[in-house]
Amino acid sequence: MQTITVDSKEQGAEEICNIVRGELEAGRLHVLGLATGSTMEPVYEKMVSSNLDFSDVTAFNLDEYIGIPADHENSYAYYMKKHLFSKKPFKQTYIENGMAEDLDAECVRYETLLKENPLDIQFLGIGENGHIAFNEPGTSPESVTHVVELTQSTIDVNSQYFSEDETMPTTALTMGISSIMQAKKLIVAAFGEKKRAALEKLYAGEISTEWPVTYLLDHPDVTVITDQKF
């Protein structure tokens, strides 16, 4: 596991874009796994303002809320269109359908697509409780794309993005731990003191089901970009 220590999210975004540029230029980036949330916004801003060409790159997103349509301003499909897809063309983009009538079938469909398009790079953020994607504490390392009940901790953090008269979804579709670990390279972005506890668990070097981020210790190519010093 490699660590790149930066002074700000903006510097971190630049480091991520440098890695992506290197993989593109080497011909190793064909499928890119994307994440959402405030941590990723400067990354996508930097990607949009760059000359990086993703027209031959297929993109997959980690997760999506269940029960809100893709055109809802708090769906992750809307987030990706707003911050990246409407400004940078990709060969193809995929995100789970949170409005699917048969959620189990949707999980199988998405996992099949992932197997047909192996991830070269996967972007990851870290939840304050150590979740990666929406894989909450206790998630099996063998998990594939699945339906998840969000923990109260995650709901409390994410509800800030919903207006007072809206109810935040309590369930989501997410790539599983096993799905994520299939990526050839993982880039983890974690900024701010609130992410320190999860990072400490990762750097302690012991895998724990209660801190899903520690599953990354079993991956051969992980780069952590953070403003926290250890």
Instruction: Please tell me the distance from the alpha carbon of residue 211 to that of residue 84, in angstroms, as a whole number.
Output: 30
Instruction: Please tell me the distance from the alpha carbon of residue 210 to that of residue 151, in angstroms, as a whole number.
Output: 12
Instruction: Please tell me the distance from the alpha carbon of residue 41 to that of residue 75, in angstroms, as a whole number.
Output: 15
**136 in catalytic set:** yes
Q: Is 34 helix (H, G, I), strand (E, B) or coil?
A: strand
What dihedral angle (degrees, nearest 10) is formed by the CA atoms of 17, 20, 21, 25? 180
What dihedral angle (degrees, nearest 10) is formed by the CA atoms of 27, 45, 216, 7? 110
Q: One-letter amino acid identity for 106?
A: E
Residues 135 and 176: beta-carbon distance below 8 Å? yes
What dihedral angle (degrees, nearest 10) is formed by the CA atoms of 195, 119, 148, 45? 50
**146 in catalytic set:** no
Q: Which of 131, 135, 146, 227 is catalytic?
A: 131
Instruction: Please tell me the distance from the alpha carbon of residue 173 to that of residue 183, in angstroms, as a whole number.
Output: 19
Per-residue tokens: 94: 């995929």
Q: Which of 129, 135, 146, 158 is catalytic?
A: 129
**117 in catalytic set:** no
Q: Which of 15, 23, 61, 63 is catalytic?
A: 63
Residues 198 and 211: beta-carbon distance below 8 Å? yes
Q: Which of 136, 146, 158, 227 is catalytic?
A: 136
Phi, psi of 164 (to 5 degrees): -60, -30
Q: Active-site positions?
A: 63, 129, 131, 136
